[in-house]
Structure 1
Amino acid sequence: MGTPDESSHPLATGRIGAAAVTFFALAATAPLAVLITVVPAAYARGGGPLVPLTFVAVAIVLLVFAAGYAAMAHRAPYAGALYAYVARGLGRPAGVAAAGVALAAYTALQLGLYGVAGVAAAPLVRSWFHVEAQWWMVAAACWLIVALAGTVRIEIVSGLLALLVLAEIAVAVGFATASLIEPVGPRLPDHLPAVDRPALGLLLAAGALAFAGFETTGTYAEETMRPRKEAGHATYASVVILGLVLAGTAWSVSVGAGPAQITALARTRGSELLFDLAGARLAPWAVTTGRAVLLAALVAAMLALHNAIARYLYALGRERVLPAALATTARRTSAPRTASLVQSLIAGLAIAVAYLAGVRSPGILAQRLTVAGGLGVLVLLLATSLAALLHLNRVPGGEGAWGRFLAPILATVALGALACLAFRNLPSLLGVPSESALVWLTPAGIAAVAGAGLLHGVVLRGARPVLYAGIGQGGTAVVVTPAPTPQLPRPRDPGAHRPERVNR
């Protein structure tokens, strides 16, 4: 494989630790946005006490998954993350397919967040400036912030995200505490209600999609102080924190509204439910602060996803799967500058197209984009778990039976079940009737992106075998030397003249 261009520089090493990586992952999941949107929808469908338990169940599954994920991150601490892991376990063409799905899924999630930000900013702008804010103006402002911050040194970005994540966790904990101090009815139910299987499956599917983004920890492995350890530690930490925040706050919503009234309130108030409960117990400034922090959390999520996408593009450019120019980094900041600018251009064009297409209320479109992106991430987690199971057992490297075999196989089965539930409940997740074209277009889109990546990998195998050999190797040059053709001795001609032996 060709050597990198001399004008490019590698990502800087040793700049962040496990805590910073954890904040990147937490920011990407936007827990406060999940509490505002997913939790009321789950209660509106009659989930009741099972809503917080759903987050606990999904967190347990992801903790099991994290064992194999951490082992793969230890072996391949590269910016490509899932791309490199799948390439090692399922083959290089599958790795290229995983990279395509990751780029598409994270882009869909980010674009959905731009739409959500436009909706979330409306009450604030109306309250502060007494004007109606157009969603595309808010999205454009957020895009500018993300585009500028995407080329900054990673330790500066991690510090900014840490502040924003701590602020949204503080708001969630504060709202939850207010509801628990002044409960309506019992804090704990006497018994779990009877919930039919379809409703339970929908709850589990929605809960799994709510964690999308925690797996971005591996994309920062090269820039950590201990590349083979920090990503794994951050993965465990992000899942535990997310599980506690989501489950605890979801439980407090039921306590604050009352178990008997929660379903009706969730149906009538929707995304305003959490703010209504907080407003009934706290001062008005607390609710306004919560809305401002929600908007800041959405910007943090956009920035975290932007950085993850940029590092995937950087890894693909470094290995020449995509144009090598994507592997260019800034000399002063060591940020993947070209990849960051390309991602900003794509997001900016998408926002412009949505505006020119006449999108006036982006809420529904944002929901569908985030669901599609979450489904793509869920498929990636399943592929990564299977890849870990195959690679760790095919090439043993010191992992115990739990991390090498038991955890990956349990995670593969559990994630496979969650993926089946998600695709089965796709109409409800998208908010469309079962006969809608989106029900089959969404999985078809994911399959098309994966198929294109798979085909690209197969073409590289035949056309550029040396480059193909370096896929998933983190930019390490791989030289394929053909085996020498054995030379068989020629049969001796009895009539041939034998030269005399000369001593030298």
Structure 2
Amino acid sequence: MSNTVSPEMTSEAKSSQQRLRGNMGVGELVMSVLAFSSPLTTVAGTLPVLLMFSGHTAPGIYLLLTLMLVIFSVGFVRMSRSVKNPGGFYSFVTAGLGKPAGLGGAFLALFGYMAIGFFAPSLFAVTLQSFVVNTLGGPDIAWYWYAIAIIAVTTTLAYNRIDLSAKVLTVVMLLEVIVVVVFNVASFAAAGGDSAANIGFSMPWLGDAGLGLALLFAVGNFLGFEATVIYRDEVKNPERTIPRATYLAVVAIGIFYALAAWAYIAFFGAGNVQSAATENTVNLFNDAVTALIGKTFADVALVLLITSILASMLSIQNIAARYSFSLAADRALPRILGRVHPRHKSPHISALMIGVVWTLATVVFTLVGVAPDSLYPLASGSGTFAVLLLMLITSLAVFVYFVRRRRTDPESIWKTLIAPVVSVLFLGLITYLALVNYPELIGGSSLMTAIFMTFTFALFIGGIGYGFYLRSRRPDVYARLGRQKI
């Protein structure tokens, strides 16, 4: 028998070594992406802000957004079955709008997710610092040590096989959900016979004051579900797992937050919830839980809030690392970032890179004197805008892709044309709201608005320019763009 190895076999083996590996099912994938939105952090931190803008229409806003994002998912899921490269939005934009636009979209994704994830170290730090000093009576340790510590923890988990992260995220997510469900049940039970007055909510109307900001903050709570496609190589049976996980994540997020918003209304009353959220935004959840269930449960919820932030950061770091890996595998970033750990089959160098960037950013912002409570809205707001812009571009790419295919391979008009067009219009509206309300989104000044908005658009345009440069100077690299076969 001949021992000669053909070039094709060598190439196939090399390709296999360069691919990520995992064994996540639908449940683990859903938990991994749901952790992105940090459910307990959202219910305790973001929902009071939404109630401040929307009052008793908050549950209706979540239901409306759920419907819109399910429609987005129709074209998104259909695209995932046609474009089977594990590059997420990077692959989709490349397939629909071309390699230069795909590269610009990939840079938006990498920046957006890294920026959103950077909200966590400072928020984790101030929350844990307050808990240690005020609740435990411990030492007052500077916030940046806590921030660096959580970066080290999530980077260690992201360095390892994705199955480990998925198990950690699943446990934390279940505990968070239990806390929120207990709060919901206690709120509705306390409303008792006053359900007509206290538990009512109505759907939003276009003329509602604050509707624009309410929609903007609420849609940010859904981010993460779109990352299901980035794990194509790390799930069991991706043809079934990814579509199921995507729809399940969108619906679960929408119903979960709608019920939590409704529980707030049940406790405070439909006519009082908006003023209560305005007057006591920061402590609304803690005070409500303490009044309903007691201080001990409130302390447990605070501990889980701290782990919730960690889970969100880990989820985001995993996503960002895979975009970095995809770009490096295509040689658009240094090749070292595209290495696969020989045992964990994870993008370990990309995960380490993100941890290093977050650590350096923490040190820099500390040295220039930026307060941690100013840092996390700036990070999450600027990253959210980048991902929203990318989702709009992706919806357009999905539409263009299927229009081009209709002559040779016509498919369902609803899935390939109508749903993508509705998504473009909806996400176009949300992106417009983000543009006009950018200072409120990032909690910053006009100068910070100009800097971050300019940088975001420059990333996309610069990525397009880099793509054209590669086409003319490095055609071998250009041919690989979009996570084509390695």
Query: Is the Cα contact below 8 Å between 1:75 and 1:228 reproduced in 2?
Result: no
Of residues 44, 49, 66, the one that matches 2:52 is 44
Query: Is the Cα contact below 8 Å between 2:191 and 2:199 reproduced in 1?
Result: no
- Structure number with greater Rg is 1
Query: Is the Cα contact below 8 Å between 2:35 and 2:169 reproduced in 1?
Result: yes
C-alpha distance in 1, partners of 2:265/2:145?
A: 35
C-alpha distance in 2, partners of 1:69/1:32?
A: 27
Of residues 1, 15, 18, the one that matches 1:10 is 18
Q: Quote the offset at 1:136 in angstroms.
A: 1.1
Of residues 107, 110, 120, the one that matches 2:117 is 110
Higher helix share: 2
Q: Answer yes or no: is 1:430 the counterpart of 2:438.
A: no
Q: Which residue of 2 aligns with 1:302?
A: 313
C-alpha distance in 2, partners of 1:263/1:410?
A: 31
C-alpha distance in 2, partners of 1:411/1:219?
A: 20
Q: Quote the offset at 1:271 in angstroms.
A: 2.2
Moved more, 99-108 or 418-427: 418-427
Q: Which residue of 2 aligns with 1:289?
A: 300
Q: Answer yes or no: is 1:381 the counterpart of 2:391.
A: yes
Q: Which residue of 2 aligns with 1:348?
A: 359
Q: 1:139 and 1:245, CA in 2 relative to 1: closer, same or farther beyond 3 A?
A: same
Q: 1:107 and 1:192, CA in 2 relative to 1: closer, same or farther beyond 3 A?
A: closer
SS in 2 for 1:175: helix
SS in 1 for 2:282: helix
**How is 1:147-226 mapped onto 2 (pairs within 5 angstroms)?**
147-183=155-191, 185=194, 186-189=197-200, 196-197=207-208, 199-226=210-237
**How is 1:113-152 mapped onto 2 (pairs within 5 angstroms)?**
113-126=120-133, 127-152=135-160
C-alpha distance in 2, partners of 1:67/1:237?
A: 12
Give the TM-score normalised by the residue count of structure 1: 0.88
Q: Which residue of 2 aligns with 1:71?
A: 78
Q: 1:190 and 1:452, CA in 2 relative to 1: closer, same or farther beyond 3 A?
A: closer
CA deviations 1:56-86 (Å, max 9, x no partner) are 1111111100011111222223332000100
CA deviations 1:432-479 (Å, max 9, x no partner) are 56xx2233333212101112211111101111223212211x3415xx
Q: 1:262 and 1:197, CA in 2 relative to 1: closer, same or farther beyond 3 A?
A: closer
Moved more, 300-309 or 6-15: 6-15
Moved more, 257-266 or 202-211: 257-266
C-alpha distance in 2, partners of 1:193/1:12?
A: 44
Q: Quote the offset at 1:274 in angstroms.
A: 0.8
Q: Quote the offset at 1:379 in angstroms.
A: 0.6
Query: Is the Cα contact below 8 Å between 1:83 and 1:99 reproduced in 2?
Result: yes
Query: Is the Cα contact below 8 Å between 1:315 and 1:475 reproduced in 2?
Result: no
SS in 1 for 2:132: helix
Q: 1:439 and 1:339, CA in 2 relative to 1: closer, same or farther beyond 3 A?
A: closer
Q: Answer yes or no: is 1:99 the counterpart of 2:106.
A: yes
Q: 1:49 and 1:335, CA in 2 relative to 1: closer, same or farther beyond 3 A?
A: same
Q: 1:191 and 1:174, CA in 2 relative to 1: closer, same or farther beyond 3 A?
A: closer
Kindly provide the amino acid, as one letter, of the partner of residue 387 in structure 2. Answer: V
Q: 1:129 and 1:148, CA in 2 relative to 1: closer, same or farther beyond 3 A?
A: farther
Query: Is the Cα contact below 8 Å between 1:110 and 1:306 reproduced in 2?
Result: yes
Kindly provide the amino acid, as one letter, of the partner of residue 372 in structure 1. Answer: S
Query: Is the Cα contact below 8 Å between 2:20 and 2:347 reproduced in 1?
Result: no
Of residues 424, 445, 456, the one that matches 2:466 is 456
Query: Is the Cα contact below 8 Å between 1:79 and 1:312 reproduced in 2?
Result: no
Kindly provide the amino acid, as one letter, of the partner of residue 241 in structure 2. Answer: E
Give the TM-score normalised by the residue count of structure 2: 0.91
C-alpha distance in 1, partners of 2:410/2:202?
A: 45
C-alpha distance in 2, partners of 1:110/1:193?
A: 30
C-alpha distance in 2, partners of 1:249/1:182?
A: 14
Kindly provide the amino acid, as one letter, of the partner of residue 288 in structure 1. Answer: D
Q: Quote the offset at 1:227 in angstroms.
A: 2.4
**How is 1:396-411 mapped onto 2 (pairs within 5 angstroms)?**
396=406, 399-411=411-423
Of residues 275, 291, 298, the one that matches 1:264 is 275
Query: Is the Cα contact below 8 Å between 2:60 and 2:201 reproduced in 1?
Result: no
Moved more, 204-213 or 58-67: 204-213
C-alpha distance in 2, partners of 1:191/1:452?
A: 44
Q: Quote the offset at 1:190 in angstroms.
A: 7.7
C-alpha distance in 1, partners of 2:16/2:334?
A: 13
CA deviations 1:149-199 (Å, max 9, x no partner) are 111111121111111111111111111111111028523338679884551
Q: Which residue of 2 aligns with 1:489?
A: none
Q: 1:166 and 1:153, CA in 2 relative to 1: closer, same or farther beyond 3 A?
A: same
Query: Is the Cα contact below 8 Å between 2:41 and 2:309 reproduced in 1?
Result: yes
C-alpha distance in 1, partners of 2:96/2:473?
A: 22
RMSD between superposed Cα atoms in Å = 2.3
C-alpha distance in 2, partners of 1:58/1:122?
A: 35
Q: Quote the offset at 1:402 in angstroms.
A: 1.6
C-alpha distance in 1, partners of 2:438/2:159?
A: 37
C-alpha distance in 2, partners of 1:133/1:385?
A: 46
Q: Which residue of 2 aligns with 1:485?
A: none
Q: Answer yes or no: is 1:240 the counterpart of 2:251.
A: yes
Q: Quote the offset at 1:3 in angstroms.
A: 6.7
C-alpha distance in 1, partners of 2:131/2:435?
A: 36
Query: Is the Cα contact below 8 Å between 1:318 and 1:324 reproduced in 2?
Result: yes
Q: 1:56 and 1:71, CA in 2 relative to 1: closer, same or farther beyond 3 A?
A: same
Q: Which residue of 2 aligns with 1:335?
A: 346
Q: 1:470 and 1:39, CA in 2 relative to 1: closer, same or farther beyond 3 A?
A: same
In structure 1, runs of 5+ residues without a counterpart are: 478-504
Of residues 464, 467, 476, the one that matches 2:485 is 476
Kindly provide the amino acid, as one letter, of the partner of residue 281 in structure 2. Answer: G
Q: How many residues align?
A: 471
SS in 2 for 1:429: helix
The sequence identity of aligned pairs, in percent, is 27
